[in-house]
Amino acid sequence: MRKFAILIVLIISMIFGITTVSAEDFSGGILPPFGYTAIAGSSVSGSQIGSLITDASTRNIGATADFPSGFNYAINAQNVIGSVNAFMNVHAQGGFDESGVKASDFVYMESDTATGFVSSFVKSMSFQAG
């Protein structure tokens, strides 16, 4: 029996000026730093993989705030005997208050798995900064 294993990972780091900030920095009108790290991917393993399609796209920083950066990731697996998994992890940090303390810290993790005979596994995930 032949075994297949496929791992597809899209790593996108969107980091915008993460620095150390003190209260004195705000007196000069400097904008607070913020940053995002987003990772999405999938894995497929088993003795049979009927079909597998993945799609990933990114949008980088634009000239205006009308088009924020982000990414899309999708998987479509059909007729798999084994296991299919898709995941997305996001860590967003935003701004600092007047005393230099981080204003927000957001962590999001998502994962879906199907095992056995998987007739259809379809998942689409998106992340948009800002």
> How many independent structural domains does the chain possess?
1
Percentage, residues of the chain above pLDDT 70: 65
**Residues 103-121 pLDDT 10s:** 788 899 999 999 999 999 9
Q: Rounded mean pLDDT of 30-47?
A: 80
Query: pTM of the entire structure?
Result: 0.71
Integer angstrom CA distances of residue 60 from 39, 49, 73, 83, 88: 15, 33, 15, 33, 18
Q: Which domain holds residue 84?
A: 4-128
